[in-house]
Amino acid sequence: MTTHHPTDVIEPDDEHLLAEPAEDVELSSAQLDVEALKQWQLGRWAEIRQEARELAAQEELIKIEGLPMAEHRERVLQQLQILVDANAVHRAFPSELGGNNDPGGNIAGFTELVIADPSLQIKAGVQWGLFGAAVLHLGTESHHRRFLPGIMDLSVPGAFAMTEIGHGSDVSAIGTTATYDPQTQEFVLHTPFRAATKEYLGNAALHGKDAVVFAQLITQGVNHGVHCFYAHLRDDQGNMLPGVRSEDDGLKGGLNGIDNGRLAFDQVRIPRDYLLNRYADVAEDGTYSSDIASPGRRFFTMLGTLVQGRVSLDGSSVVAAKIGLAAALRYAEQRRQFTTDSDIEEQLLLDYQLHQKRLLPRLAKTIAMGFAHEELLTKFHEVFSGENDTDENRQDLETMAAALKPQSTWHALDTLQEAREACGGAGFMAENRFASLRADLDIYVTFEGDNNVLLQLVAKRLLGDFADEFKTFNFGTISKFVAGHAREAVYYRSGLSRWMQAVADTGSERKSANWFKNDDVQHGLLSSRVETMVNAVGSKLMTVAKADPATQARTFNQNQVELIEMAKAHADLITWEAFTRALERLPQSAGEETVQVLRWVRDLYALTVIEENLDWYLMNGRISVNRARTLGSYINRLLHRIRPFTQELVDSFGLEDRHLRSTVATNAESVRQQEAAEYYRQLRASADAPVAEKSLKKK
Amino acid sequence: MTTHHPTDVIEPDDEHLLAEPAEDVELSSAQLDVEALKQWQLGRWAEIRQEARELAAQEELIKIEGLPMAEHRERVLQQLQILVDANAVHRAFPSELGGNNDPGGNIAGFTELVIADPSLQIKAGVQWGLFGAAVLHLGTESHHRRFLPGIMDLSVPGAFAMTEIGHGSDVSAIGTTATYDPQTQEFVLHTPFRAATKEYLGNAALHGKDAVVFAQLITQGVNHGVHCFYAHLRDDQGNMLPGVRSEDDGLKGGLNGIDNGRLAFDQVRIPRDYLLNRYADVAEDGTYSSDIASPGRRFFTMLGTLVQGRVSLDGSSVVAAKIGLAAALRYAEQRRQFTTDSDIEEQLLLDYQLHQKRLLPRLAKTIAMGFAHEELLTKFHEVFSGENDTDENRQDLETMAAALKPQSTWHALDTLQEAREACGGAGFMAENRFASLRADLDIYVTFEGDNNVLLQLVAKRLLGDFADEFKTFNFGTISKFVAGHAREAVYYRSGLSRWMQAVADTGSERKSANWFKNDDVQHGLLSSRVETMVNAVGSKLMTVAKADPATQARTFNQNQVELIEMAKAHADLITWEAFTRALERLPQSAGEETVQVLRWVRDLYALTVIEENLDWYLMNGRISVNRARTLGSYINRLLHRIRPFTQELVDSFGLEDRHLRSTVATNAESVRQQEAAEYYRQLRASADAPVAEKSLKKK
């Protein structure tokens, strides 16, 4: 029996593909325009990034490996003050308060701080990106006037008290209450049981003087859901205020420069105007009011500021991956191991096919994710600067952040690990930073939105675009997370039509392995995967669109794995699109060769993603068996083509030795090899050079 | 156009598969015989494992997280003395020296030490498994008499000085020389250049008094290749001896209880009889002699003792994966998050399909790898106890260790990471150990044989079985690593024939998704993958069998990625076989249900491996497109079936709280939830319970 698929029409005469001469010029002797590539990747906020890198290279800001936790925490607190003094952390705040009204530039600078020490970065994120941002975005003018100056100049370090022991991803279910008492015109903050203790909060264990606290707002006998309150934790001597209890989380898998801890409140009274009241308020008599009628929508509006953290982690992960790759690839260009013959020089690691396959696709992904981040950051800037703050753009921003942050944070861990392994034992030494960076970034995959929860939000949004029914569908696990609303799914439909054109194409392309390098083919393959999955899962879920919530949730759960895959496929697609758009921005003045090599890198990104999901493409008839068989060798050919330019690509990251701070990234290995080679040269020239037993036997 | 594959003959009527009722009994209410499962997994050396676990739970042996490096190193040294006093580390040594002649039991006990602290384990491995084992296996009686007592009782801590800065995997290329001086009847140990400095040696930075040193033996003007010498490093006060230089590697990504460091020798003279002369000797006049004529074969014979380290790491990785899984799965059985409706209890993590998909296949792999390790350890015991010390069995042992160690060490990292992520923020806390264990085990994937280098050895062996030509083939990268010799490839041929039978089968199996649960089908799919890849790569390499070494090496390199895949496929196959053979050992007295559930676990292992390589099966016509489409849902069905038994499966590991030492593995989460539930119950019952705004709006 045979299989029939409507799309399985392209059947190249693949047997000849490998013998076919490459039609692209071989460029191994060309030189790339590294400076053009660098500016291209630094993007819109190049200047701020460069400034931040200057800062991040300063001795007093860099991580000291192995510092005991207590000293590391103290050092990072002092580093935050250095950032304040350098004017490095106020860009997002309004100019009237001493900021720059530049939310995009703020994140651009912030992401580069990962170079210095992820603890420093995240503690800065807690202070200004979460604690300060909550006051800015959820508070009103009087809060800004009263609280922001101290937050900005770090005289008031603070915690962002949202997560509880019992509830992380499902914020709406937190247990802390803020009950309004009209007698005294105060809210009573209270932790009613152990699981409602605030948990994992930076600044909570030691340094936090104040906090923003998320709690169920109860007034006049009604629970209006989660709202954000300002609260004092410690006096100026650092003593806990009455009713506030703090516990230290102690040692963690990484980020030990941050004093994470727990906070609990025992009937702590705060003034009525400590409610950050931009979206809702309580009058003196306890009357609740809000411009946003729907409690769900109100909740998600208030949580909207969280997107900043996701955007930041996405960008930081790309920077961290670049550090790891730069070090491992510089080493691979120097380190030699094994030879075919004792008279022949040993082979460079990077000339091994396996080594190329381990590192170059990750290089391509990292560059691709850099451009995806640039688009995400631009969208973030549009929304938060007010340039284009529409509901739709805000929702696109949230979906995009939810799609990219999981992919890039996982990618950073994967890349740092592969880079460490690619350097063998040297990769394990603290002086080469791989393990340290990886340990610090580990938590990025589950904080500011657990990756798998975020991907479900993406899936929900994709389904919402697929059919109106899903706007009210009970998604169970994530039902309360995002208020999805209608939008035409123009995107995928247009993707499909372009793809249909690509596969229907006839003529010379048919018989060529070069099919895979066609933009339309790549886009068609990536977009049809999303579209097909949305259709498939959507159709399955549609069968229960009228069922009770429990049935809907159960059906959702039975397709959860596929929903996650669908969301990842979406992230892959928008990453590819961002890279492809970026190619158009690469100045022609960089020269043809540079453009060509970067197109190969983009192709390598696309084909790596397609190879990772090749079973899907085969099962869904999107790639024929014969075509699929050529993919591996086509990728190997790309690796071979890109390999001569690896060093220039790495240089184009613009990361200098003072940023990498990694011995394997220096020329130490080359120097040692030269010394060894010189020893053997002199030995061979001398009279008393020993003869190898092996060569004696041959004679 | 359509595709034709000779084997693509099985085309079930798959559309009906999902609707088809499961033919197995649903067992969700059954109870497993946990004790039987525990004994079954503890295996041949159950008693020794239990003793080691008792030891590993002792307060003074367990890792203290966050201990500064200097204190951790000191603590671990003292712990080694505790192991000596407990008679826990001498099992492999001859009984006349106070050992037990029990190499298998020794490793079994050793692997369990990872429970206490991987630093303790590896430092013990350095002292007795490398330093001591080298004296035992490469030395002769006088060495045993002189050196082993001090090594065994730890009065002489020592280093195993093989790796150099410049050469890790390629030991034959090390630069350290041992030149014989007949005038004084001494060897002169010398480090001729920086790259020849010994590197990453445990006990080198601080504690090592003596060492075994691998160096090029030069006498009478001939270099006889790498040999092993005994040397003194420090005097009794800990001062370096003249000419010996030590440097501290400092902080590492993990295992910071071990004082890794570098050693260099400046014309250090050692007596002639410090050559460990079991396989080669130098007479007083400098005449070299060896029973093994071939220098290559001699080298590999001397390196044969290294297999012990690989066997140990394989077993230790399985234990570590069990710790991570036990903790994450106990948490997943308690932790609830998200609900479809505020009136309904939140859902257990482990009831989410995604959570099952993340953890249960890893559980199945871990159990499978446990049985593969048991077979490896048995073979190791046969060879090293002399029970069956043939060349062939020794070579099988080396191939098996080279295949299993990469898979299990990578699996441990992957599993510990997934387990950590599956516990969210809690997973990142040091108190839950995931990150700490993962950091310590990180280096397991590149030491005692880099995983990718070991897999190439396996590939070489598989090709050697495929065709005689490969016995002299120049494999370039790994040519000097293993002396392959002829053996009938009966294995794969028999595998093929059984598989052909399975796919040629007709009748009711054809139309059933249960095809996948058939032993012959699973074995056929797994073995045909190895066999087909060996044939494919073998045929490609055969075309250059007569070419010059450089061409051969280049061709090898062009197929390197595929060779690695082939070796992994081989490891998957032997792991499956070990699990399947183990099923036959599961006592019937455990009850039908227990046997059935463990068969599902075995099926889950097989189908997970097949799903991971599904693109290959499709491209090679081993699984039809329609059949492949049913695989995902068949696996989901297995997850659903196994899920009710997860806790009992975890319990069958026999790891108690004192071994797991992880808060999430306790019932703390349940207790907190009960407290919260009680609070809400009382609140609902009280007069002043707040009403949710949402429910007000509905009215």
- The arithmetic mean of pLDDT across residues A163-187, rounded, is 95
- A60 and chain B in contact, CB less than 8 A: no
Q: Residue B12 has what pLDDT?
A: 37
Residue B351's closest chain A neighbor by CA?
A557
For CA atoms B512, B518, B522, B528, the dihedral sign is negative
A607 pLDDT more than 80:
yes
Residue A371 domain-assigned (yes or no): yes
Boundary (domain end) residue, out of B634, B651, B668 = B651
Q: Residue A697 has what pLDDT?
A: 73
B272 and B174 in one domain? Answer: yes
Q: How far is B691 from chain A (nearest CA, A)?
A: 5
Smallest Cα–Cα separation from B480: which of B503, B441, B453?
B453
SS3 A504: helix
Which residue of A4, A8, A252 to mutate against B (max B Cβ within 10 Å)? A252
Tell me whether residue A376 is in a domain: yes
Amino acid in the structure at residue A158? G
B666's CB contacts (< 8 A; 6+ apart) are B330, B657
> DSSP code of A341?
S
CA distances from A400 to A310, A368, A467, A473, A530 (A): 10, 15, 19, 21, 15
- Per-residue model confidence as pLDDT tens digits over A584-593: 999 989 999 9
Q: Which domain holds residue A455?
A: 306-651
> Is A348 inside any structural domain?
yes
Distance CA B20, CA B57 (A): 49
| B64, B197, B350, B477: best to mutate for the A interface, most A CBs within 10 A | B477
Residues whose CB falls within 8 Å of the CB of residue B563, separated by 6 or more in sequence, listed in order: B455, B456, B459, B537, B556
CATH number, domain with residue B521: 1.20.140.10
Task: Report pLDDT for B547.
Answer: 87
Q: Is the pLDDT of residue A365 over 80?
A: yes
B211 CB-near residues (< 8 Å, 6+ apart): B131, B158, B159, B160, B161, B201, B203, B204, B230, B231, B233, B263
- B629 contacts chain A (CB < 8 A): yes
- What ipTM, to 2 d.p.? 0.93
Task: Establish if B475 belongs to a structural domain.
Answer: no
Tally of domains in chain A: 3
Closest CA to A190 of A170, A169, A218: A218
What is the distance between the alpha carbons of residues A156 and A81, in angstroms, rounded to a whole number?
A: 11
pLDDT at A411 (0 to 100): 98
pLDDT value at residue B169: 85
DSSP A239-284: PBPTTEEEEE---BSS-TTS--EEEEESSEEEEGGGB--SSEEE-T
Residues of A in contact with B436 (CB under 8 A): 253
Within this chain, do residues B506 and B364 fall inside the same structural domain, yes or no? Answer: yes
Residue B464 falls inside a structural domain: no
Instruction: Quote the CA–CA distance of B2 and B621 in Å, as a whole number.
Output: 13
Average pLDDT over residues A4-25: 38
Dump the DSSP string for B308-366.
HHHHHHHHHHHHHHHHHHHHHHHHHTT-B---SSTTSPPPBGGGSHHHHHHHHHHHHHH
Report which secondary-structure segment, H or E, holds B245: strand B244-248
Q: Are residues B251 and B168 in the same domain?
A: yes
Measured distance CA(B247)–CA(B161) in Å, rounded: 13
> Final residue of a domain: which of A251, A284, A317?
A284
Give the nearest chain A residue to B66 (CA atoms).
Answer: A251
In a domain, A680, yes or no: no
pLDDT-flagged residues of chain B (< 70): 1-29, 340-343, 468-513, 698-699
pLDDT at A480: 29
Containing B181, the helix (H) or strand (E) segment is strand B177-181
Instruction: With respect to residue A440, please indicate whether it lies within any of the assigned structural domains.
Output: yes
The span from the CA of B554 to the CA of A258, in Å, is 50
Give the pLDDT confidence score for residue B344 in this predicted structure.
Answer: 72
Distances from the Cα of A653 to the Cα of A318, A326, A688, angstroms: 11, 8, 49
Residues of B in contact with A628 (CB under 8 A): 615, 618-619
> Environment class of residue B684 by beta-carbon count within 10 Å: exposed (0-12), middle (13-18) or buried (19+)?
exposed
Residues A440 and A510 reside in one and the same domain:
yes
DSSP B126: I
According to the model, what pLDDT value does residue A487 have? 31
* Residues of chain A with C-beta less than 8 angstroms from the C-beta of B222: 690-693, 696
**Average pLDDT rounded to a whole number, residues A225-247:** 97
- Top pLDDT among A33 and B496 is at A33
Which string of DSSP letters, residue by residue, matches B582-602?
HHHHS-GGG-HHHHHHHHHHH
Indicate which CATH number applies to the domain containing A92: 1.10.540.10
Shared domain for B284 and B356, answered yes or no, is no
CA dihedral A302, A308, A311, A313 (to 10 degrees): -110
**Interchain contact, A428 vs B436, CB within 8 Å:** no
On the question of pLDDT at A524 being above 80, the answer is yes
Which pLDDT value is given to residue A500? 43
Give the residues across from B280 on adjacent strands.
Answer: B290
Rounded to whole angstroms, the Cα distance separating A6 from B1 reads 10
Same domain for B207 and B83, yes or no, is yes
For B43: left if phi > 0, alpha if psi spans -120 to 50, otherwise beta; the answer is: left
Q: Is residue A666 part of a domain?
A: no
Which pLDDT score, from 0 to 100, does residue A696 have?
A: 84
Q: Which CA distances in Å does A5 have to A8, A620, A627, B3?
A: 5, 8, 15, 11
Closest-CA residue in chain A for B688?
A: A221
A51 CA to centre of own chain? 22
Q: Is A118 on the interface with B (CB under 8 A)?
A: no
The whole-angstrom separation of Cα B338 and Cα A479 is: 8
DSSP β-ladder status, A691-692 and A222-232: unpaired
Q: Are residues B282 and B366 in the same domain?
A: no
Chain B residues whose beta carbon lies within 8 Å of the beta carbon of residue A417 = 413, 442
What is the predicted pLDDT for the residue at A687? Answer: 87
User: For residue A489, what is the DSSP state?
Assistant: -
With beta carbons under 8 A apart, name residues in chain B contacting A564.
354
Q: Taking the model in full, what pTM does it have?
A: 0.93
A565-571: average pLDDT: 97
Last residue of a domain, one of A152, A177, A200: A152
Chain A touched by B296 (CB under 8 Å): yes
Other beta carbons less than 10 A from residue A21's beta carbon: 5
- Pair A176, A146 in one domain: no
**Closest among A435, A458, A681 to A569, alpha carbons compared:** A458
Position A496 pLDDT exceeds 60 = no
CATH code (residue B88)? 2.40.110.10
- Reduced to 3 states, what is the DSSP secondary structure of residue B262? strand
Residue A268 Cα distances to A211, A262, B67, angstroms: 13, 16, 37
Of residues B224, B452, B479, nearest to A354 (C-beta): B452
**Chain A: residue nearest B565 by CA?**
A354
Q: Is B295 on the interface with A (CB under 8 A)?
A: yes
Q: Which of A68, A558, A628 sits opposite B353 (nearest CB)?
A: A558
B186-190/A177-181 β-pairing: unpaired
Within 8 A of A618 by CB-CB distance, chain B residues are: 615, 618-619, 625, 628
Q: How many CB pairs under 8 A join A and B?
A: 331
Nearest to B690 among A199, A218, A429 (CB): A218
State the best of A63, A190, A340, A444 to mutate against chain B, taking most chain B CBs within 10 Å.
A340
User: For residue range A636-695, what is the model confidence (pLDDT) as tens digits?
Assistant: 999 999 999 999 999 999 999 999 999 999 999 999 999 999 999 999 999 889 999 988
Looking at the fold, whether A328 and A258 belong to one and the same domain comes out as no
List phi, psi (to 5°) of B159: -110, 155
Residues B328, B400 within the same domain:
yes
Collapsing DSSP to helix, strand or coil, B488 comes out as coil
- Tokens representing residue A619 in the block: 């099962």
Is A172 in contact with A299 (CB distance < 8 Å)? yes
Based on the fold, state whether residues B280 and B348 are members of the same structural domain: no
8 Å CB contact between B525 and B622: yes
CA atoms within 13 A on the CB side of B558: 17
